[in-house]
Chain A
Amino acid sequence: MRLKGQTWEFQAKPRILASATVVGPEEGQGPLASDFDYIYDNLEINEKTWEKAERKLLEQASQLAVVKAGLTKEKIQFFVGGDLMNQIISSTFAARTLGAPYLGVFGACSTSMESLALAALLVDSGAAELVLAGTTSHNCTAEKQFRYPTEYGSQKPPTAQYTVTGSGCGIVGKKGNGPVIARATIGRVMDLGIKDPFNMGAAMAPAAADTIEAHFRDTGLTPGHYDLVVTGDLASVGLPIAKELLQKAGVRMEQTKFGDCGLMVYDMQKQTYVRAGGSGCGCSAVVTYGHLLKKMTNKELKKVLVVATGALLSPLSYQQGESIPCIAHAVALEMED
């Protein structure tokens, strides 16, 4: 690994050997439905509590990823994962089921790429041969913990986002044909004073812009190097803000396609209840591990930069009037010829 600024350039070609995604019914009605491995037809995920449902999504996605890689779970040397719940409890329970040595990480919705970057670093440095990275979120656990009870009748403003019910996992190793994790840029915490938890897109946009700018500054690449750059969950409010910030900073994003997982996972015309778009750990995880990896394997995309964004707030911090600290981590995935 070579360190340039805040970017790791991996030398040993860590790859995603296999990945799996499990989602809820609303994601199953979205345009990416055919890219997911398993779609539940009920939000309860056949469980008694929302928390158990969220955990089950991760347990199943991790098991599926192991099976798809042609491995057994005993072969997984480390599991790097996290989620949005207090004390990242969903990942911990899933790690209990998996039984592998576990590194719990928290980066809010950026956890998907934070865990993947760390998994790649472990493999690249020779600290491990097979590492599972994964994350999960559930719409109702997030509502319950961060907002109001799920059935409470509150009017959501048009800037509000909808937490994705879903889990995505990837297995990182060296041997295989999957996309190479070429480099990763670790973000720093950005906070430009947005306090409204119903406007996460605006809160997170500076973090995304900062990490993208750092990525191109560190690597010397231009946005045109990638076929696609996607942010995690900036949605319809945050993405145009990030575009404007990057344009002002002189990063020429018009050279590439610049999208957002939160705008891809739902049908924005029909599923209007998602308001500004999707969010949550599961959002960038299911889009990356489901949709994008499939497109890469089919050679429709060769080089993709995923910039997962996270709002690192707690229910207490915003009730006490604090602004929302945000972060973004970028991982570059590249198919070899």
Chain B
Amino acid sequence: MPASTKKGNKFSLDNLSSQEYKSIAQKHEPKRSIFKNCILAFLIGGAICLLGQAIQQAFMALFDMSTQEASSPTVAVLIIISVILTSCGVYDKFAQVAGAGTAVPVTGFANSMCSAALEHKAEGYVLGVGANMFKLAGSVIVFGTVAAFFVGLVYAIFGLEGVHHQ
């Protein structure tokens, strides 16, 4: 209960502090089901990764590729699928259920670029598509690069050479 009613003062919106108001407002907000969201994100995100693995195995079996050789075309196929689903207006509806499950895999990255490109086509190819395509994906690249730099720094300082396992 807000303090003002305890003191017996007349309730007034002008005297209501932001803290007191938040405690009133929070009572009426539906709970966000974090547990359910985590489970759905895990299952759907996992399913996307499983699909990726299947595509990779298919490339390896059909085209006689090594694991590493198959990884680039696998990512390309996932991106194409995501772009098609985005263009058909399905990916965002899927994402409402999946949450992080569709945002974290490479398909989410493709969706962020494709959706921005579609949205800003109205402003032309240079000022619209070109300038806005990385509107959301840009921060992923920036902070991904920064994180990679610091990880590299740790490797350099502690002498742990980044050995690629074939």
**Chain A interface residues (CB < 8 Å from chain B):** 48-51, 144, 148-159, 190, 192-194, 199, 202, 205-206, 209-210, 213, 236-237, 240-241, 244-245, 248-250, 273, 276, 323
Contact = CB atoms under 8 A, between A and B. Distances in A.
DSSP majority for the B interface? helix
A210 B13 contact: yes
A245 B24 contact: yes
Contact of B96 (A155, A206, A209): A155
B6 interface: no
Interface of B: 5, 11-13, 16, 18, 21-22, 24-25, 27-32, 37, 86-87, 89, 91-96, 98-100, 102-103, 108, 111-112, 114-116, 118-120, 122, 135-136
Contact of B24 (A48, A149, A241, A323): A241
A104 B5 CA distance: 42
A152 B90 CA distance: 10
A323 B11 CA distance: 23
A149 B13 contact: no
B37 A155 contact: yes
B119 A155 contact: no
Contacts of B116: 149, 152
Contacts of A156: 96
14 contacts: A149-B115, A149-B136, A150-B119, A151-B119, A152-B111, A153-B98, A155-B98, A158-B32, A159-B29, A192-B21, A193-B21, A199-B29, A202-B28, A250-B11
B114 A151 contact: yes
A156 to B, nearest CB: 6
Contacts of B37: 155
Given A50-B122, A151-B114, A153-B102, A241 B25 contact: yes
Indicate the member of A144, A199, A202, A248 with the most B CB atoms within 10 Å: A248
Indicate the member of B5, B21, B95 with the most A CB atoms within 10 Å: B21
A159 B29 CA distance: 7
Contacts of A149: 115-116, 118-120, 135-136
A318 to B, nearest CB: 16
Indicate the member of A48, A155, A209 with the most B CB atoms within 10 Å: A155
B92 A249 contact: no
Contacts of B18: 192-193, 323
A137 to B, nearest CB: 17
B8 to A, nearest CB: 13
B88 to A, nearest CB: 9
Nearest to B108: A153
DSSP majority for the A interface? loop
Q: Which 10 A-B pairs rank lowest in CB-CB distance, beginning with the nearest?
A: A153-B95, A193-B18, A149-B119, A151-B115, A149-B115, A192-B21, A49-B122, A152-B115, A155-B99, A158-B30
A43 to B, nearest CB: 9
Contacts of B114: 151
A218 to B, nearest CB: 15
Given A151-B91, A190-B13, 14 more contacts: A149-B118, A150-B118, A153-B92, A153-B98, A153-B111, A153-B115, A155-B103, A159-B30, A193-B18, A194-B25, A205-B25, A210-B13, A213-B13, A241-B24
B122 A48 contact: yes
Nearest to A210: B13
Contact of B29 (A48, A49, A237, A245): A237
A248 B10 CA distance: 9
Given A241-B28, A244-B24, A249 B13 contact: yes
Contacts of A237: 25, 28-30
Contact of B21 (A51, A154, A158, A206): A206
A48 B124 CA distance: 13
Contacts of A144: 119
B13 A148 contact: no
A112 to B, nearest CB: 23
A209 B30 CA distance: 21
Contact of A150 (B22, B32, B115): B115
A197 to B, nearest CB: 14
A248 B18 CA distance: 16
A152 B28 contact: no
Contacts of A213: 13
Contacts of A157: 32
A16 to B, nearest CB: 31
A70 to B, nearest CB: 38
Contacts of A250: 11
B107 to A, nearest CB: 9
B112 to A, nearest CB: 6
Nearest to B86: A151
